[in-house]
Amino acid sequence: MMERYVSLLKEKCGTKNYEKLLLLNNPGVEYFIAKYVELCNPASVFVRTDSVEDILHIRNKAKESGEEILLAINGHTTHFDGYFDQARDKEMTKFLVTKDMDLGSGLSSIEREKGLKEVHTLLKNSMDGKEMFVLFLCLGPVNSDFSIYGVQITDSSYVAHSEDILYRPAYESFKKEGSDIDFFKYVHSAGKLENNVSKDVDKRRIYTDFIENKVYSVNTQYAGNTLGLKKLSLRLTIRKAGMESNWLSEHMFVMAVHGPDKRKTYFTGAFPSFCGKTSTCMVAGERIIGDDIAYLRKREDKVFAVNVERGIFGIIRNLNSQDDPLIWQALNNEGEIIFSNILVKDGIPYWQGYEKEIPEEGINYSGKWQKGKKDEKGNEIASSHANARYTIKLNNLKNCDPELENPEGVEVKGVIYGGRDSDTLPPVFESFNWKHGVITIGASLESETTAATLGKQGIRKFNIMANLDFLSIPIGKYINNYLSFAGDLTNPCSIFGVNYFLRDEKGDYITGMQDKRVWLKWMELRVHNEVEAIKTPIGFIPKYQDLKRLFKKVLNEDYKEEDYIKQFSLRVNENLAKIKRIEEIYKTKVTDTPAILFETLKEQKARLQETKKQHGDCIKPDIFETN
């Protein structure tokens, strides 16, 4: 390493922190840190090991700096992002690309050298007068086939604290592996601060460099833009998995569903926002391993998965004791939790949909707040932001599965995809096989816009595998990777679709909020071939008698056959319309669509059309045969 870098590290780190770096015996790590110490010019550098002392240093810094404020319950703090820094900045999240780099259509990018020059200019002296934190972390359990290591540089103690809650510490792993370890790199600076929030959000940039597996983030504090190992890493790992073609990096939960004789069966699931992802993996009576991102690998003719994270960065809006009892319990007891962008009054956090009455005044993301306060454009400021969050370790939850840290992962028997659909798909159904499920369910996933979304309600948005925002390879390659992933397996995972939002002709929902508990139990029995199913043109659906028995057992409810007919009748015209929409997307917006996708959709269309000729537009389940 260059002599000036050695001198710089000694000066900025001090003796103790410099020794921590030397113990790693990794010139690549030293060079990476030194390069950004020189560029960002921090007052000092803190190197975090896995020790309790180092972890506490960051927590204390967050409180001392004011980036986090103590709340009434021991271990709870709150953080406020700036008023204009409350969500992922999709416009300024870009890939750095070279002329020969094919990302496919629709992905935001910038020429690599131009982007590097821009972001390095913004990072220059961005940490002047501040402390730089260097963290060694792991995506997935440490010392595992799933492990992907990373080094996070940040000048935000809040970001460092959040990373520590969400990801496994890996300093000891770096020390063990020495210069042989491969790692992702993350550089973040909140930039100039005003009242402890990023001042220059108009110069916010979030850039991903695939050549160096590096993520840059500057002039922002919001976790979705700054936590390098979260969605920013998802883009890196999707590309890595795509290039290696023997594993999947997915926007999925991992959960255990209990079956007969104390059996536990593991599922993964992908849902777009506001489609029931968290409520599914947190459902009463089952176990959670992860709520957001999963890696899937093959071993011994089976599929195994791990949760990339060890914590939850969850949306807190409408969270309450009735619908979310386990999270509610954790959020109201002692333990390490960061709330962000909520309202605080006398040390108590409040959020939209909170069970108790919201105070007339307090402190929130806009500063001092009182009911009726308006921003500079005359818009009323809500007491708590709609995207307010909580950050918590999973093992704080009573339903956390003991296999969370298993380096081998858990065997996955089923994959669940769920969208928001008012008039087409039944509450639960199973694909004919892996190919059919990947194409007609996962690659055809849609979600209707709601009142919580800007623009018109009821507009269907395409979201392949609930992963569209994070794709970093062409869509066609992504589909082919999925198809080949399980192509050589003797008994690949079953693929299911769920839809919690089906409505009747009056516009009323025709499934209950707790019904998903029954759908999960049916899926668990199906993957073990313990219940039969009815074969329809779109896949397999449950038999009435099986659901009747499960509703009584799980919910102690009498399930009426008339409800079953409403929920599981085949809506032929709506399914044909869906196929037409999906075909149009893949013909006009995707340049590398594999032919097998069109073939599979054509086959489904033909089955639907033939059935319509015989039985009409809306077909009751009893028309079809049991498989």
**Helix or strand or coil: residue 144?**
coil
For residue 328, name the pLDDT band (cuts at 50, 70, 90): very high
pLDDT of residue 104: 67
**Helix or strand or coil: residue 487?**
coil
- Burial (CB < 10 A; 0-12, 13-18, 19+), residue 169, is buried
Calculate the dihedral angle through the C-alpha atoms of 543, 548, 553, 555, rounding to the nearest 10 degrees.
Answer: 110
CA–CA separation, 481 and 438 (whole Å):
11
Mean pLDDT of 365-392: 94
Mean pLDDT of 62-74: 96
pLDDT of residue 451: 46
User: Tens digit of pLDDT for each residue in 227-275?
Assistant: 989 989 999 999 999 989 889 999 999 999 999 999 999 999 999 988 9
| Most distant pair of Cα atoms in the chain: their distance | 82
Highest mean pLDDT: which range of 89-103, 310-324, 400-414: 400-414
Residue 575 token pair = 């399914």
pLDDT of residue 113: 96
- Helix, strand counts (H, E) of the chain: 17, 35
User: Tens digit of pLDDT for each residue in 89-115?
Assistant: 888 899 999 988 877 666 788 999 999
Choosing among 3.30.420.40, 3.40.640.10, 3.40.449.10, 1.10.600.10, the CATH entry for 3-67+89-245 is 3.40.449.10
Asked about 275 being catalytic, the answer comes back as yes
The phi and psi torsions of 480 (rounded to 5 degrees) equal -65, -35
Q: What's the gap between Cα 8 and its chain centre?
A: 38
CA geometry: angle 384, 72, 380, nearest 5 deg: 15
Element (H, E) at 2: none
pLDDT of residue 105: 63
Mean pLDDT of 427-440: 97
Highest mean pLDDT: which range of 100-109, 198-207, 314-323: 198-207
Residue 361: pLDDT over 80: yes
Residue 281: pLDDT over 50: yes
pLDDT of residue 1: 59
Calculate the dihedral angle through the C-alpha atoms of 568, 573, 578, 579, rounding to the nearest 10 degrees.
Answer: 110
Min mean pLDDT across 84-88, 382-386, 586-590 is at 84-88
Q: Where are the beta strands (DSSP E) in 123-270?
A: 131-139, 148-154, 168-169, 183-189, 193-194, 197-198, 205-209, 214-218, 247-250, 253-258, 264-270
Which positions ≥6 away from 186 have C-beta within 8 Å?
A: 150, 151, 152, 153, 154, 214, 215, 217, 228, 229, 232, 233
Residue 133: pLDDT over 50: yes
Q: Fold for domain 249-310+404-623?
A: Phosphoenolpyruvate Carboxykinase; domain 3 (3.90.228)
Q: Please state which architecture CATH assigns to domain 313-396.
A: Beta Complex (2.170)
Q: What percent of the chain has pLDDT over 70?
A: 98
Q: What is the DSSP-derived secondary structure letter of residue 503?
A: B
CA–CA separation, 538 and 444 (whole Å):
12
CA–CA separation, 475 and 464 (whole Å):
9
CA–CA separation, 507 and 487 (whole Å):
41
**Helix or strand or coil: residue 89?**
coil
Q: Where are the domains of the chain?
A: 3-67+89-245, 249-310+404-623, 313-396
User: Tens digit of pLDDT for each residue in 335-358?
Assistant: 999 999 999 999 999 999 998 899
pTM here is: 0.94
pLDDT of residue 2: 74
User: Tens digit of pLDDT for each residue in 209-218?
Assistant: 999 999 999 9
Residue 456: pLDDT over 70: no
Is 589:106 a contact under the CB 8 Å cutoff? yes
User: Tens digit of pLDDT for each residue in 1-33?
Assistant: 578 888 999 999 999 999 999 999 999 999 999
User: Tens digit of pLDDT for each residue in 150-174?
Assistant: 999 999 999 999 999 999 999 999 9
pLDDT of residue 289: 98
Residue 452: pLDDT over 60: no
CA–CA separation, 47 and 68 (whole Å):
21
Mean pLDDT of 368-372: 95
CA–CA separation, 94 and 206 (whole Å):
6
Mean pLDDT estimate for the chain: 94
CA–CA separation, 301 and 317 (whole Å):
41
Residue by residue, DSSP assigns 286-301 as SEEEESS-EEEEEETT
Residue 453: pLDDT over 80: no
Residue among 138, 275, 281, 493 flagged as catalytic: 275
Do domains 3-67+89-245 and 249-310+404-623 share one topology? The answer is no
CA geometry: angle 110, 115, 118, nearest 5 deg: 140
